[in-house]
């Protein structure tokens, strides 16, 4: 009897394992590459180092590895430009749109889903309200990129790095703060929050995340003392006229200035700060111009996006187009944050740059991305969250 | 030889060249359709798309023809459209009325045009330079409006409020109605004739007792109405407005008007349809470029060459063999 | 004309601008020229504005509005910087290269104009698109960076900018006021048809004008590039903005030109604008306020210029 019971149990277990195996085999995603998939890419800035590096990764690596064809928008300056570009993609039978442009994301999602085209956000995130409205939309693939808290932390870490070195006199280049660009405001707020923490003071009576509201109120950063740290200069905007360059030069040559913290591309200060002994920190991408600046000692700290960081969102989009959307247990779209690679020396920069600029063995290779095809939300999230250089190299 | 003399006698050569831009548009449509068929494009969607992308420029450029006819041009049209749209958006957000938004868009654009025309005509300023100064002022006003609004980098009109107007029929209706009004004023009233006269020979027109200031004001008002309509159509298409809204419209208008065969010196050869032909021609050309997914730099170079070739052909009857055009 | 009246006409505007900016900056408690950097900034601004003003006015005075001058500056500086970096050329050679390439691209713009015989505004638009696209294609969109090259980025100084200003001004005065080409240029400017009828060759004259304007813009592109050590790309007419800053100094130059050589008038116009620009820097004037002030200055000056006689009559009546 006992023998029979054991045999029955064994057979039942074997049958269950077999059934599970069959189920898994039946659901194992298959990457059918017989048909070329056209994907439109919305770009608001076609000439920035970051946008060019992303484009090179898609066109010179991904396009060679998968049967996909990327179609790029012209430089987009407003939401009407975004709508026109999406119309162009739809007319050209694109199956999906990956957006690096953020003038009106809800409108982009509505336009794409209305036409049955998948839509994904690269190097950015939706606001909480936007995500709530879009998360169950079957055509919304999701967003992967630095969220605003990551931007805040990036600014904080940047300032903290120099504060820990004993620097006390800072200048801030505010980039698009006068135009109320969220990520620039959050980065600047992070910088000021670090100064408040280390300098034991406050910025306009605010500390920590309260500083964000203060910058929104003014559309600028106010100079002055923050405890025993001081913001000795500030320039915002991208006017690129004589007065603006004059202001940049004046800021770089402020007496006693030790560090210029740029919320975006700080390359306009390279010439002005040269020979002044001023250190520069920037947030941008791993580009050739920064390599030179790092080697020359003109640039001392870079929080940069790596070009392959847009690999996972491509795979999520590709997977959705092929019928394997990546969703959480409630059926919600991806919402994952991804940070920057931080280089504080030429050596580190060059190590990162070598991988980032490689078209044979980039940070995210085909083998790594293939593992994400039709994967579970958790596996996908775990993969994306390991974004530091060492973590990614460890996955290879 | 005989054919040549017949053509000259009846002015046929002149007539053929005057409609060359129309042939250019037809050629571009044919090229587009051929490429679209070869590339398996969604042609029905493309046509709707082409209308969407042309209508704002076509409307504004049609109004601007009145200024161009006087031999002047206005470089501040894009900035004016942006200010009108932003103020219109703010009025909607304050009142919830689409009608008020529409009236504000038109009112603000006409007011800006009037300031331009008053400066130009009353103070005898060169129109182009006045509009350069106005461009600078309007760009500053845009930043101030965004600041005043205090909601970050944009002024957003709810999509639902204008979704009903974001249709092919509404856009076509606005374009056709406005074009019909402009056609009537331009070709069938004294105002149009006097404007062509003034643009063609300002000295003679002045000696004939024509009130150039009044005509300049009318031209700017027509252009202002067009900018207002254009900014309203912009809102219906993309209701999230930023400092860059309609920023490319200023240059697009100039290119479209020229592409449509309008002489930049104005005068009797001015054609009201040049704006619509030019705007649609440019969009068809852009669509062909999009289909071939050309790299930004190379694409822009190709566009420049095609632009020169088409305009060269269209204006081949307007050349003076003796001296260079100015 | 009496010497006092002439001196008054020459120096009234720059002196008035200087007095106003000094007064306003004193009220604000700011010294206009506090550091060496302020002097460098001022001279850079003067050099930039003067070069663009001269380049714009050479053709505009003849009724040719050339939208492509900004793109000539961009393209010539991109190519000269790329060659200089590759062959490690000294800064003087890079400047020379930039000027020569600017002249070549300007000449090409002119060549297209005389071949297609379209209004210059149309050719200018097309060439601006073409050159921007070419600069983008040459650099793959990445622009050029030479922040490592200490000689190139070490160029900005009062002495170097002064040398460029003097050399450019001397060359332009020599060419336009003391050569046959210059006399023909003036003849064509005042009577195009008559000049052609008496045998002046308009096409070569026009081509040289475009070439000279291009050379000036090559120098301007060089100044902009060596200021930051980077050249960033621009598309879709992004390069034409540079031109708009030249209108006011051009009109000021035209006014001063009644009393002295009009090119020196352009220099004094540029000096006036340089002072205003430095005042914006030193008083940290907001960008939107700057735009409004600059536009108002332009409009007010034009109103004065175009209604001068009426103003004079009013003053006389007042007396």
Q: Does domain A37-146+307-338+363-395 have CATH number 3.40.50.720?
A: no
What does the alpha-carbon distance between residue B295 and residue A78 come to, in Å, rounded to a whole number? 21
Q: How many CA atoms lie within 13 A of C280 on its CB side?
A: 29
Q: What is the pLDDT of residues C6-36, one digit of tens each?
A: 898 899 999 999 999 999 999 999 999 988 8
CA distance A302 to C51: 36
B45 touches chain A (CB under 8 A): yes
- Closest CB from B48, B242, B248 relative to A103: B242
Q: Quick one: which of B65, B278, B300 has its CA closest to C126?
A: B300
Query: What's the pLDDT at A19?
Result: 45
* Chains touching B (3+ CB pairs < 8 Å): A, C
Q: What is the pLDDT of residue C157?
A: 93
Q: Which of B40, B152, B239 sits opposite A93 (nearest CB)?
A: B40
**Which chains reach chain A with 3 or more Cβ–Cβ distances below 8 angstroms?**
B, C
User: pLDDT class for A16, splitting at 50, 70, 90?
Assistant: very low
Check if C235 contacts B (Cβ < 8 Å): yes
How do residues A115-132 score in pLDDT, each as one tens digit?
999 999 998 889 899 999
* pLDDT tens profile A267-289: 777 777 766 689 999 999 888 77
Interface of A with C (CB under 8 A): 46-47, 49, 52, 74-75, 178, 237, 239-247, 249-250, 253, 267-272, 274-275, 287-289, 292-293, 295-296, 298
Q: Where residue A23 falls among pLDDT bands split at 50, 70, 90?
A: very low
Residue C24 lies in a domain: no
For the ranges A76-90, B219-233, C289-303, the maximum mean pLDDT occurs at B219-233
Predicted pLDDT at B247:
83
Is residue C286 situated within a structural domain? no
Distance between alpha carbon C7 and the CA centroid of its chain, in Å?
A: 24
CB-based contact A92 B39, cutoff 8 Å: yes
User: Which residues does chain B have within 8 Å of residue A115's beta carbon, measured at their own beta carbons?
Assistant: 45
pLDDT, position C213: 97
Token readout for A296 is 């020359």
% of chain B residues with pLDDT over 70: 92
DSSP-derived 3-state class of residue B121: helix
Q: What is the mean pLDDT of chain C?
A: 91
Angle formed at CA B106 by CA B84 and CA B263, multiple of 5 degrees: 90
Q: Is the pLDDT at A310 greater than 60, yes or no?
A: yes
- Give the nearest partner residue to A270 out of C142, C147, C241, using CB atoms: C147
Candidate from B147, B159, B248 with C-beta closest to A107 = B159
Is C25 within the bounds of a domain?
no
pLDDT at B13 over 80: no
Q: Domain map of chain A by residue range?
A: 37-146+307-338+363-395, 149-305
- pLDDT digits 0-9 by tens, B65-75: 999 999 888 88
Query: Chain B, 217-276: which have a CB under 8 Å from a chain C CB?
Result: 248, 251, 254-255, 258, 263-265
> For the residues A186-201, what does the mean pLDDT come to?
97
pLDDT of residue A47: 77
Give the count of beta carbons closer than 10 Å to the beta carbon of residue C88. 9
Min CA distance, C77 vs chain A (Å)? 16
Q: How far is CA A70 from the centre of its chain?
A: 19
Looking at the complex, report in whole angstroms how far the Cα of residue B159 sits from the nearest Cα belonging to chain A: 8
Given this model, what pLDDT does residue B318 score?
Answer: 67
What are residue C144's phi and psi, to 5 degrees?
Answer: -130, 140
**Chain A residues inside the 8 Å CB shell of B244:** 77-78
ipTM of the complex: 0.88
> Residue B3: its pLDDT value, please?
60
Q: Is C270 among the domain residues?
A: no
Q: Inter-chain contact C136–B297, Cβ cutoff 8 Å?
A: yes
- Evaluate if residue A9 carries a pLDDT over 60: no
B168-204 per-position pLDDT tens digit: 999 999 999 999 999 999 999 999 999 999 888 888 9
Query: Helix, strand or coil for residue A150?
Result: helix
Q: Does C141 touch chain B (CB under 8 A)?
A: yes
Q: Tell me the mean pLDDT in the region A201-206.
A: 96
- Say if C115 falls within a structural domain: yes
**Are residues C307 and B123, on separate chains, in Cβ contact within 8 Å?**
yes
- Nearest-Cα distance to chain C for B259, in Å, is 9
CA distances from B251 to B165, B171, B255, C88, C118 (A): 26, 22, 6, 39, 18
Q: Give A149-305's CATH code, choosing from 3.50.50.60, 3.40.190.10, 3.40.50.2300, 3.30.1380.10.
A: 3.40.50.2300
B-chain residues within 8 Å CB-CB of C303? 119, 123, 125
Q: Which residues of A touch C25 (CB under 8 A)?
A: none
Q: What is the CATH number of domain B43-311?
A: 1.10.3470.10
Whether residue B294 is predicted with pLDDT greater than 80 in this model: the reply is: no
Sheet arrangement for strand A37-43 = A68-72, A37-43, A96-100, A118-122, A140-145, A334-337
Q: Using alpha carbons only, give the angle B49, B155, B54 rounded to the nearest 5 degrees.
A: 20
The pLDDT assigned to B127 comes to 84
Rounded average pLDDT over B296-314? 86
Domain count, chain C: 1
Q: How far off is chain B from A107, nearest CA to CA, in Å?
A: 8
Provide the pLDDT for residue B124. Answer: 77
Using CB atoms, which residue from C138, C294, C299 is nearest to B119? Answer: C299
What are the tens digits of pLDDT across the range C130-186? 999 999 999 888 888 887 787 888 899 999 999 999 999 999 999 999 999 999 999
B247 at interface of A, judged by CB pairs closer than 8 A: yes
Residue C63 has its nearest CB partner, among B140, B141, B326, at B326
| Nearest to B251, CA basis, from B325, B190, B303, B314 | B303
Which of C129, C247, C292 comes nearest B304 by C-beta? C129
Q: Does B240 touch chain A (CB under 8 A)?
A: yes
- Residues of B within 8 A of C135 (CB-CB) are 297
């Amino acid at each position: 009897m006992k023998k029979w019971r054991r045999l029955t149990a064994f057979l039942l277990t074997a049958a269950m394992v077999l059934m599970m195996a069959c189920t898994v085999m039946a659901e194992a995603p298959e990457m059918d590459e017989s048909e070329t998939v056209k994907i439109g890419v919305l770009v608001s800035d076609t000439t920035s180092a970051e946008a060019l590096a992303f484009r090179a990764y898609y066109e010179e690596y991904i396009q060679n590895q998968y049967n996909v064809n990327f179609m790029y928008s012209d430089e987009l300056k407003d939401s009407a430009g975004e709508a026109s570009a999406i119309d162009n993609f739809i007319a050209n039978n694109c199956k999906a749109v990956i957006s690096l442009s953020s003038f009106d994301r809800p409108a982009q999602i509505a336009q794409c889903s209305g036409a049955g085209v998948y839509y994904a956000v690269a190097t950015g995130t939706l606001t909480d309200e936007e995500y709530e409205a879009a998360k169950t939309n079957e055509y919304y693939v999701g967003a992967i990129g630095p969220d605003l808290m990551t931007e805040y932390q990036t600014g904080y870490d940047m300032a903290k790095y120099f504060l820990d070195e004993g620097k006390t006199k800072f200048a801030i280049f505010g980039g698009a703060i006068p135009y109320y660009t969220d990520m620039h405001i959050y980065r600047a707020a992070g910088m000021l929050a670090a100064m408040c923490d280390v300098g034991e003071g406050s910025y306009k009576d605010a500390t920590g995340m309260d500083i964000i509201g203060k910058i929104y109120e003014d559309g600028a950063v106010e100079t002055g003392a923050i405890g025993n740290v001081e913001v000795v200069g500030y320039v915002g905007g991208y006017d690129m006229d004589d007065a603006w360059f004059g202001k940049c030069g004046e800021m770089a040559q402020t007496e006693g200035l030790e560090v210029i913290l740029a919320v975006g591309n700080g390359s306009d200060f390279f010439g002005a700060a040269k020979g002044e002994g001023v250190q520069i920190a920037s947030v941008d991408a791993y580009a050739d111009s920064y390599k030179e600046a790092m080697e020359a000692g003109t640039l001392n700290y870079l929080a940069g996006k790596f070009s392959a960081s847009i690999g996972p969102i491509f795979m999520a989009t590709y997977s959705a187009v092929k019928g394997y959307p990546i969703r959480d247990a409630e059926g919600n779209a991806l919402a994952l944050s991804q940070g920057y690679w931080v280089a504080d020396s030429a050596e580190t920069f060059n190590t990162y740059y070598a991988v980032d600029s490689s078209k044979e063995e980039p940070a995210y290779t085909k083998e790594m991305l293939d593992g994400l095809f039709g994967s579970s939300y958790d596996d996908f999230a775990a993969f994306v969250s390991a974004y530091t250089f060492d973590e990614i190299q460890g996955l290879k | 030889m005989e054919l040549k003399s017949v053509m000259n006698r009846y002015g046929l050569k002149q007539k053929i060249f005057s409609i060359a831009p129309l042939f250019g548009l037809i050629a571009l449509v044919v090229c587009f359709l051929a490429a679209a068929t070869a590339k398996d494009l969604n042609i029905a969607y493309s046509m709707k798309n082409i209308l969407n992308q042309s209508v704002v420029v076509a409307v504004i450029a049609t109004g601007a023809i009145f200024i161009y006819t006087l031999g002047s041009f206005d470089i501040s049209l894009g900035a004016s459209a942006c200010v009108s749209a932003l103020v219109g958006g703010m009025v909607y957000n304050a009142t919830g009325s689409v009608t008020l938004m529409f009236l504000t868009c038109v009112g603000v654009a006409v007011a800006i045009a009037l300031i331009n025309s008053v400066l130009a005509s009353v103070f005898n300023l060169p129109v182009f330079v006045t509009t350069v100064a106005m461009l600078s002022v309007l760009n500053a006003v845009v930043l101030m409006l965004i600041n005043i609004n205090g909601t970050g980098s944009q002024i957003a009109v709810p999509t639902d409020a204008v979704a009903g107007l974001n249709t092919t029929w509404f856009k076509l209706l606005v374009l056709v109605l406005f074009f019909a009004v402009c056609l009537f004023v331009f070709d069938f009233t004294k105002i149009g004739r006097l404007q062509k006269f003034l643009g063609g020979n300002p000295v003679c027109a002045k000696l004939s007792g024509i009130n150039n200031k009044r005509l300049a004001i009318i031209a700017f008002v027509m252009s202002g109405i067009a900018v207002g309509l254009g900014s309203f159509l912009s809102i219906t298409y993309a209701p999230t407005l930023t400092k860059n809204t309609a920023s490319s419209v200023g240059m697009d208008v100039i290119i479209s008007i020229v592409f449509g065969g309008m002489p930049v010196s104005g005068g009797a050869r001015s054609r009201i349809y040049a704006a619509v032909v030019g705007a649609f021609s440019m969009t068809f050309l852009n669509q062909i470029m999009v289909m071939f997914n050309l790299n930004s730099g190379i694409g822009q170079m190709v566009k420049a060459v095609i632009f020169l070739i088409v305009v060269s052909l269209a204006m081949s009857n307007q050349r003076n063999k003796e001296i260079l055009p100015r | 004309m009496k010497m006092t009246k002439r001196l008054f006409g020459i120096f009234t505007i720059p002196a008035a601008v200087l007095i106003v900016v000094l007064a306003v900056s004193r009220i604000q408690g700011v010294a206009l020229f506090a550091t060496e950097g302020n002097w460098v900034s001022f001279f850079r601004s003067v050099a930039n504005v003067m070069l663009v003003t001269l380049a714009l006015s050479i053709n505009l005075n003849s009724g040719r509005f050339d939208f492509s001058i900004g793109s000539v500056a961009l393209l010539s500086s991109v190519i000269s910087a790329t060659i200089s970096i590759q062959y490690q050329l000294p800064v003087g050679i890079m400047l020379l290269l930039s000027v020569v390439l600017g002249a070549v691209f300007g000449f090409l713009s002119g060549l297209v104009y005389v071949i297609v015989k379209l209004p210059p505004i149309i050719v200018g638009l097309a060439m601006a698109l073409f050159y921007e696209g070419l600069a983008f294609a040459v650099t793959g969109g990445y622009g050029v960076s030479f922040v490592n090259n200490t000689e190139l980025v070490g160029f900005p100084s009062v002495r170097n900018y002064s040398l460029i200003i003097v050399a450019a001004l001397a060359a332009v005065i020599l060419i336009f006021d003391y050569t046959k080409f210059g006399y023909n240029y003036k003849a064509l400017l005042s009577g195009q048809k008559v000049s052609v009828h008496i045998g002046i060759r308009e096409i070569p004259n026009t081509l040289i004008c475009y070439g000279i304007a291009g050379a000036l813009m090559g120098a301007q592109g060089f100044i902009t590039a060596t200021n930051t050590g980077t050249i960033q790309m621009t598309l879709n007419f992004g390069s034409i903005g540079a031109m708009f800053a030249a209108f006011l100094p051009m009109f000021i130059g035209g006014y001063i030109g009644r009393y002295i050589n009009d090119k020196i008038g352009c220099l004094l116009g540029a000096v006036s604008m340089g002072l205003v620009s430095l005042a914006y820097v030193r008083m940290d004037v907001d960008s939107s306020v700057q735009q409004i002030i600059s536009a108002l200055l332009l409009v007010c000056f034009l109103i004065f210029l175009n209604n001068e006689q009426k103003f004079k009559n009013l003053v006389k009546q007042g007396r």
